[in-house]
DNA sequence: GCGGGCAGCCAAAACGATTCGAGCTTGAGT
DNA sequence: ACTCAAGCTCGAATCGTTTTGGCTGCCCGC
């Protein structure tokens, strides 16, 4: 059985797609090892040779193929972030922060939008696994059972931002704010203005942050014995959800004098509802929101809101991720960043306290 | 030029990172060719074997390595889009449209933000080349000389969105709107309300769309002999730029009775300036903007704006790109989508016409 | 009994990079 | 004169896929 050298290639129609390292090597009459060493500075290469190679690279417009590189190196220099809603400026800002930070360390980031659905998030995570990203930061979808993520991601490092993981990876890294505390402070601010009938529009209780904010709100009101169940609403996190809950609250027999909204989109919905019902804000009804956004000062009234350091959250998540990837795990596994109450015009003392 | 010393470390620590097709083959006692054929359905594989393979895939949590795949296939199923400002909801919406459309065709998209600077865009495009993306849609940075893109992208297909290419690729695909026409219509609307002293705040003339909108505005005013150079302003495209120009316009001796802003961020800036100067809009000054956004109805007054079909622009760009990549070039090379004047509350007849 | 088609499987050659080990000159140290 | 290291270069293995051509039975029609 002699293995005969068969000329098996029938097609010779090979259009030259991109220049390869081999083309560069051929152009300067060197081996590809030498070219590689020259380009990466990883071994001795004479100055003359280096110059010739650099010229050839320019002339051939050679760009290394990162697929081949990643395959060999087992590193793609790619990260990813998945958020529940990209059109929400809060998450957009987190993404931006992460991109800015990681770009400086020469990482590319893929961004995914789960639309609050684990099914969509899972699809995205599977794609990330196939692409062998070096790490991912998750703001898990709020519809529960996001703890299967460990399965689909395998050994890829994960950092959580904003929302807590739920007993997911054993030692999960996380960065975010103290939501209970921030909500409590906000509620106490309303109390200090004289409000007693304070409502909250919160998200679904499967969303960790929503649950914590509700908790903080309750703690503040319980302390003065002013908690009433009919003022607690949870619903969808979007604008329509906020509007619907606000209308229900304001049209009931004994409406609240202040509404605390647990995220930014719902706050906008509530504002829309208030205007639609012809109520004067803040004279007749005070509105306090969560998650600030850039153009909140353009609205009338200018909204009083709890500001989260979105950009810093994204940057920190990126930093924590890169640190674990590159095995400088010097930093703590969890980081809590400060919030800030941006007092503007949408809250005032109640008409009849 | 001293070459650096090299430490040739001999690490033999090979942790089993991810399951490979070889692992699957070994598990079922088949060859990798058979596994590949089974998974891709590209050749005969017995039902029994197929079942065994599928079981092994599940058990090993095998996910094909897209790097190796892309290397072999010379296709990455990755697209990219680069826009001048991601925090501008107009571009964000284009990106979203493209993502939605291309996701259905199983493409991933990388998104880049050039911040209106060619230097940044170039960096991003070079990265795309190294990653061998299958195609890219560009909204070129507005600071000129973006025509070097062909060089850095090599043979990678390009589709332009919103802004025109400037004699870039020979047969450039493009999708956008008729900016001159839209601006002319908008200006004529202001004229029909009785305005004669109409100002425009436009972007830098290196930005093609800005130039076209200015052109349309001029055409409308020239037709009634009401064009005055002191009412024409170009500046930065951001909010601060819009505010600055608006203040200059409104504080001059014979201020305009209406301002036409050539993009959305400048419109917001102008609105801010108007409020800051204590002018009543629309009673004292009418404001008409370009590029609608989702929450424009939350502002008071609700802004009258020219709406571009941003989402459709993104989807169409995605479609055109995929069509060229997959060589179904059945569609025209350039597509013009319709605009719409969203008449709301920020324009009214002038006090003294 | 023989040619031929088909179902099922496999070995090996790409794809384009990095890296290990080794070979070959020089020049210096002893 | 001999050894040794440094400087420079190269061949070959490797990363994890797809794909091509070929091999083996087996059944079918004659």
> Which residues on chain A are in Cβ contact (under 8 Å) with B127?
108
At A76 the pLDDT is 96
**Domain-located, residue A253:** yes
Count A/B contacts: CB-CB distance under 8 Å.
100
Q: What is the pLDDT of residues B78-102, one digit of tens each?
A: 999 999 999 899 999 999 999 999 9
Determine whether the distance from the CB of B44 to the nearest atom of strand C is below 7 Å: yes
Same domain? For A225 and A254 the reply is yes
At A332 the pLDDT is 63
Q: Do A47 and B130 touch (CB under 8 A)?
A: no
CATH code of residue A165: 3.40.50.2300
Nearest 10 degrees: CA dihedral of B14, B18, B23, B24? Answer: 180
- The strands making up A78-83's β-sheet, listed across from edge to edge, are A108-113, A78-83, A135-138, A158-161, A173-177, A334-337
Task: Specify the nucleotide whose C1' lies closest to residue B72 (CA).
Answer: C15
Same domain? For B46 and B150 the reply is no
Same domain? For A89 and A198 the reply is no
Same domain? For A199 and A227 the reply is yes
A198-230 residues labelled b (16+ CB within 10 A) or e (exposed) = bbbbbbbebbbbbbbbbbbbbbbbeeeeebeee
Tell me if B204 sits within 8 A of B142, measured CB to CB.
yes
Which member of B67, B76, B99 has the closest CB to residue A71?
B67
Give the residue from A281, A260, A265 showing the smallest Cα distance to A346. Answer: A281
Same domain? For A197 and A295 the reply is yes
Phi, psi of B201, rounded to the nearest 5 degrees: -110, 110
pTM for the full predicted model: 0.91
Which residues numbered 120-179 in chain B sit less than 7 A from strand C, measured from CB? Answer: none
Q: What is the pLDDT of residues B44-53, one digit of tens each?
A: 999 999 999 9
Nearest residue on chain A to B80, alpha-carbon basis: A110
Q: How distant is C1' of D20 from CA of B292, in Å?
A: 55
Give the number of other Cβ atoms within 10 Å of residue A13's Cβ. Answer: 5
Same domain? For A320 and A299 the reply is no
- Give the residue numbers spanning the domain of A58: 21-64
Average pLDDT estimate for B274-291:
94
Same domain? For A118 and A157 the reply is yes
**Domain-located, residue A318:** yes
**Domain-located, residue B348:** no
A173 against B36, higher pLDDT: B36
Task: Specify the nucleotide whose C1' lies closest to residue B36 (CA).
Answer: D18
Q: How far does B131 lie from chain A, in Å, by closest CA?
A: 5
**Domain-located, residue B9:** no
CATH code of residue A57: 1.10.260.40
Helix (H) or strand (E) holding B90: helix B89-104
**Domain-located, residue A163:** yes
From B40, B64, B88, give the residue that closes a domain: B64
d(CA A294, CA B87): 10
Same domain? For A329 and A277 the reply is no
3-state secondary structure of B335: strand
**Domain-located, residue A4:** no
pLDDT in tens, chain A (353 residues): 333 333 333 333 445 679 999 999 999 999 999 999 999 999 999 999 999 999 999 999 999 999 999 999 999 999 999 999 998 999 999 999 999 999 999 999 999 999 999 999 999 999 999 999 999 999 999 887 667 888 899 899 999 999 987 655 555 789 999 999 999 999 999 999 999 999 999 998 888 899 999 999 999 999 999 999 999 998 888 899 999 999 999 999 999 999 999 999 999 999 999 999 999 999 999 999 999 887 888 888 999 999 999 999 999 999 999 999 987 765 568 899 999 999 999 999 998 64
Task: Specify the nucleotide whose C1' lies closest to residue A9 (CA).
Answer: D20
Q: Structurally, how many domains does chain A consist of?
A: 3
Same domain? For B296 and B197 the reply is yes
**Domain-located, residue B1:** no
Q: Do A155 and B131 touch (CB under 8 A)?
A: no
Give the residue from B212, B209, B275, B215 showing the smallest Cα distance to B242. Answer: B275
**Domain-located, residue B346:** no
Same domain? For B149 and B212 the reply is no
Which member of A41, A126, A272 has the closest CB to residue B63?
A126
Q: How distant is C1' of D12 from CA of A31, in Å?
A: 12
Q: How far does A295 lie from chain B, in Å, by closest CA?
A: 9
> Which residues on chain B are in Cβ contact (under 8 Å) with A295?
268, 295
Same domain? For A294 and A205 the reply is yes
From A308, A325, A348, give the residue that closes a domain: A308
Q: What are the DSSP calls for A310-347, one per residue?
A: HHHHHHHHHHHHHHHHTT---S-SEEEE--EEE--SS-
At A251 the pLDDT is 95
At B5 the pLDDT is 32
Same domain? For A273 and A227 the reply is yes
Q: Do B71 and A64 touch (CB under 8 A)?
A: no
In Å, how far are A6, A348, B219 from A9, measured between CA atoms? 9, 80, 63
């Amino acid at each position: 059985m002699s293995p005969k050298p068969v000329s098996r290639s029938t097609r010779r129609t090979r259009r030259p797609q991109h220049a390869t390292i081999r083309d560069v090597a051929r152009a300067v009459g060197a081996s590809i090892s030498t070219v590689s060493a020259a380009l990466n500075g990883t071994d001795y290469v004479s100055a003359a040779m280096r110059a010739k190679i650099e010229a050839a690279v320019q002339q051939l417009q050679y760009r290394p193929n990162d697929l081949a590189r990643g395959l060999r190196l087992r590193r793609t220099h790619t990260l990813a972030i998945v958020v529940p809603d990209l059109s929400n400026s809060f998450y957009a800002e987190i993404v931006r922060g992460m991109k800015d930070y990681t770009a400086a360390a020469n990482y590319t980031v893929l961004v995914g939008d789960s639309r609050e659905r684990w099914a969509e998030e899972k699809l995205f995570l599977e794609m990330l696994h196939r692409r062998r990203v070096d790490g991912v930061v998750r703001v898990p979808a709020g519809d529960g059972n996001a703890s299967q993520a460990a399965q689909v991601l395998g050994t890829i490092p994960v950092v959580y931002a904003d929302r807590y993981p739920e007993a997911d990876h054993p030692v999960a890294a996380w960065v975010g704010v103290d939501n209970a505390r921030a909500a409590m402070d906000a509620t106490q601010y309303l109390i200090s203005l004289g409000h007693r009938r304070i409502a909250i529009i919160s998200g679904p209780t499967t969303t960790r942050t929503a649950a914590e904010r509700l908790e903080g709100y309750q703690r503040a009101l319980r302390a003065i014995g002013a908690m009433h169940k009919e003022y607690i609403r949870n619903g969808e996190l979007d604008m329509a959800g906020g509007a619907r809950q606000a209308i229900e609250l304001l049209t009931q027999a004994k409406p609240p004098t202040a509404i605390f909204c647990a995220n930014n989109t719902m706050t906008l919905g509530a504002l829309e509802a208030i205007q639609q019902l012809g109520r004067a804000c803040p004279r007749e009804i005070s509105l306090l929101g969560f998650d600030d956004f850039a153009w909140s000062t353009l609205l009338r009234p200018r909204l009083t809101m709890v500001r989260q350091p979105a950009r810093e959250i994204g940057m920190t998540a990126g930093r924590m991720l890169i640190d674990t990837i590159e095995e400088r795990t010097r930093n703590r596994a969890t980081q809590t960043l400060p919030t800030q109450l941006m007092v503007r015009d949408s809250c005032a003392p109640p008409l009849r306290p």
